[in-house]
Amino acid sequence: MTPATLSEVALPPVPLTVEGASVLHQMMRVRRSAWRGLGADTRAEIVAEAATALGGKEKPADGCQSAVYSLIGHKGDLLFVHFRRSFEELNQAELQVAGLRLSDYLEPTHSYLSIIELGLYESTSKVYADLAGRGIPPHSEEWKAEIQSVLDRQRKAMASRLWPEIPAAKYICFYPMDRRRGESKNWYQESMADRKRMMEEHGLIGRRYAGEVRQIITGSIGFDDWEWGVDLFAEDPLVFKKLIYEMRFDEVSAVYALFGAFYVGVRVPAASLGSLLAV
């Protein structure tokens, strides 16, 4: 296939991505009336068991880590965030929480399953253009081998972002989001070049807040009800409002973004879990 005839063939519209840690958010409400009905010694035993189990996962170890947050507002009391190497390990983390005696006094209010994802718009455009210029047909074996080589290099270069520690910041803000479609505007019908341009402009805003907030993006298409999850970590919660508000004026958010429920919480060491459950 020559470049001339290749130009008549539609290149894949999907940007390349690389994936890392599997992530589960568990939002829980404490059944206060039942909890208060227990004796002080029983409550202390239950808290000690939970603190030991959860505390054992607070420090990152081989891609595995969990953190506990005290949620602010009516959407729940506790947020458990788990980073693991696979969905199987996430399932084990979920079962570990369910196996705690404390779980008898917790009511799930929501959960979110996703995987850390980095979109490679810049690399996608370059490699697609290179392959097209060399006359390599899309989806051919040679095409697939070249794409795999690019992905392997990117995984190595971005390993620290694909397998991060849960930031130690005091506050977390989590929310899911979609790209608008089905109305007058449809993100998935825009060209690769236009999506690349808009995402580059979108990213510039986030980079201006790099010293104040840590952002971790997770992909959830096929895993949960929304398309992406966003975790923001900061020492000052006001930065969440400022960053997200500024992004609302960006073309990507103003025209195409749909947002789900927001969850804001305060980091709590597992050893201090008892303070959240005091009667």
Catalytic residues: 175
DSSP-derived secondary structure letter, 16: P
In whole angstroms, give the CA distance from residue 70 to residue 270: 11
Tokens of 3: 């470049």
In whole angstroms, give the CA distance from residue 82 to residue 267: 13
**Amino acid occupying residue 276:** L
Q: Which residues contact 39 (CB under 8 A, 6 or more apart)?
A: none
Q: Please count the residues of the chain.
A: 279
Alpha-carbon distance values, 183 to 188, 208, 227 (Å):
12, 32, 17
In whole angstroms, give the CA distance from residue 65 to residue 23: 10
Tokens of 35: 């909890």
Q: Which residues contact 249 (CB under 8 A, 6 or more apart)?
A: none
In whole angstroms, give the CA distance from residue 30 to residue 48: 16
